[in-house]
Amino acid sequence: FPRSFDRIAASVLARFPDSAIIDTICRSTRRRQEELFEMAPEVDAFVIVGDPHSANTLRLVEIARELKPAFHVRTADDVAAAEFSGLRTVGLSAGASTPSFVLEEVRKKLESIPTVDR
């Protein structure tokens, strides 16, 4: 998304130079999105933790799926070991409203799967 926004903003400004472009995404949300791009070369898949009704979380899932296979889970109970067969390294991210203890529980569940490093 950050890259798309910049391209669209540049296109609008090229055509309408007097336009005002306002980026309303908060820093932490933008950073989470950028981290997916940074992690992508190092992981086999992503797990995104968060509420299925959170626009923030759904955007992370969308970006992750553009880069690698991605799984959207709400809690550690949603992590099924069979889905990770053949995957060694998994990138983990979460929506801004996801409690840290939920993210930690998912991390522990992933680490308990024999083939997954993280």
Q: Are strands 70-73 and 45-49 parallel, antiparallel or unpaired?
A: parallel
pTM as predicted: 0.79
CATH code assigned to 28-111: 3.40.1010.20
The residue extents of the domains of the chain are 28-111
Sign for the CA dihedral angle at 62, 67, 73, 78 comes to: positive
Tens digits of per-residue pLDDT, 16-51? 888 888 766 677 788 888 899 999 999 999 999 999
Amino acid 96 reads A
Average pLDDT over residues 80-100: 91
